[in-house]
Amino acid sequence: MVKIELRKDYILDRWVIVAAHRSKRPNDFRQEKKIKSATKGNCFFCPGNENLTPKEIGRIEKKGKWIIRWFPNKFPAVSKEGNPEIRHDNKYFTYSNAYGMHEVIVETPDHKKQLADLSEEHIKQLLEVYADRIRKLSKLPETKYVLIFKNEGEEAGTSLIHSHTQVVTYNKIPKNVQDKIEASKKYSNCPYCEIMEIEKNSHRRAFENNNFLGFAPYASRFNYELWILPKKHIKNITDMDETMLLDLASIMKKVLVKLKEINHSYNFFLHYSPEGEDLHFHIEICPRKAIWAGFELSSGETINSVSPEDAAKFYRGEE
Q: How far is the CB of 50 from Zn ion (least distance, A)?
A: 11
Q: How far is the CB of 240 from Zn ion (least distance, A)?
A: 14
CA-based diameter of the chain, in Å?
A: 58
Q: Which stretch binds Zn ion (CB under 5 A): 59-67, 167-175, 197-205, 274-282?
A: 274-282
Write the DSSP string, 184-249.
HHTSSS-HHHHHHHHHTTSTTEEEE-SSEEEE--TT-SSTT-EEEEESS----GGG--HHHHHHHH
Q: Which stretch binds Zn ion (CB under 5 A): 37-45, 81-89, 142-150, 243-251?
A: 37-45
Does 46 bind Zn ion (CB under 5 A)? Our answer is yes
Q: How far is the CB of 162 from Zn ion (least distance, A)?
A: 3
Question: Which one among 190, 203, 260, 306 touches Zn ion, defined by CB under 5 A?
Answer: 190
Question: Which one among 60, 86, 193, 290 touches Zn ion, defined by CB under 5 A?
Answer: 193
Residue 40 to residue 92: CA distance in whole angstroms? 49
| HSE, side-chain direction, 13 A CA sphere, residue 86 | 14
User: Segment 55-114, which members bind Zn ion (CB under 5 A)?
Assistant: 111
Q: How far is the CB of 47 from Zn ion (least distance, A)?
A: 8
Does 306 bind Zn ion (CB under 5 A)? Our answer is no
Question: Which one among 4, 6, 19, 45 touches Zn ion, defined by CB under 5 A?
Answer: 45
Q: Which stretch binds Zn ion (CB under 5 A): 23-31, 52-60, 187-195, 303-311?
A: 187-195
User: Please, are residues 274 and 144 in contact by the beta-carbon 8 Å criterion?
Assistant: yes
Strand order in the sheet with 5-8: 15-18, 5-8, 95-97
Dihedral sign from CA coordinates of 115, 121, 122, 124: positive
Does 232 bind Zn ion (CB under 5 A)? Our answer is no
